[in-house]
Amino acid sequence: MNWISRTTAVVTMVAVVFHGSLSTLAATGATIEGTVEVPCDPSRVSEVAFVLVQPVSGGSPLTVDVDPSTGKFHSPEWAEGEYELVAIGLDGLPLTPEPTRVGLQNGPNAVVLSLQPPGCDEPAEGEEKPGEKGGLKAWQLTLIYVGVVGAVILALYNDDEEQASPF
């Protein structure tokens, strides 16, 4: 009786997995599931109106709307191949100088567009740019590290005691 319960459980599990994978097997093209990120200021994601998707091999570009609160966009039924993605701002201008190239394959394709729009390079008032006055440079940190390690070695090495002889 225990053997029949296990067989039934295995058959049920295989049927559920097969049923769950039918939608993936039936997919006829690639799906873009993307996110737009602005690392310097996440609140600027709301400035992205849509993403322009154009095949590298040529063809007409299509637009995909971007959720202004999350930066997510979704577009189904693309053919496999190489595409260029460009984030377009509310003013209709591209937010990056170069498009992002992605290769799409059948099924879902996760895409992340990380943007550095104009104005992100400038520090806010009261902030300093990295490497400007007030910060230590990499070579200074290396010298400090070597000095600390050297001081620890000298402190632990005691030359006053005689070395113990194994004989």
SS3 letters for 55-91?
Answer: ECCCCCCEEEECCCCCCEEEEEEECCEEEEEEEEECC
Query: For 3-12, 50-59, 78-87, 146-155, which range has the lowest pLDDT when averaged over its residues?
Result: 3-12
- Give residue-wise pLDDT tens across range 83-117: 999 999 888 888 888 888 999 889 899 999 888 76
Task: Compute the distance between CA of residue 67 and CA of residue 41 in angstroms, rounded to an integer.
Answer: 16
What's this model's pTM, rounded to 2 decimal places?
Answer: 0.54
**Is residue 56 predicted with pLDDT exceeding 80?**
yes
Residue 156 CA: distances (Å) to CA of 57, 114, 153: 67, 49, 5
- Give residue-wise pLDDT tens across range 5-47: 777 765 566 555 566 655 555 546 889 899 999 888 888 888 8
Task: Compute the distance between CA of residue 116 and CA of residue 120 in angstroms, rounded to an integer.
Answer: 6
Of 78, 73, 147, 79, the closest CA to residue 112 belongs to 73
What residue ranges define each of the domains in the chain, with the CATH number in brackets? 31-122 (2.60.40.10)
Question: What stretch of H or E contains 103?
Answer: strand 100-104
Of 38, 31, 99, 94, the closest CA to residue 70 belongs to 38
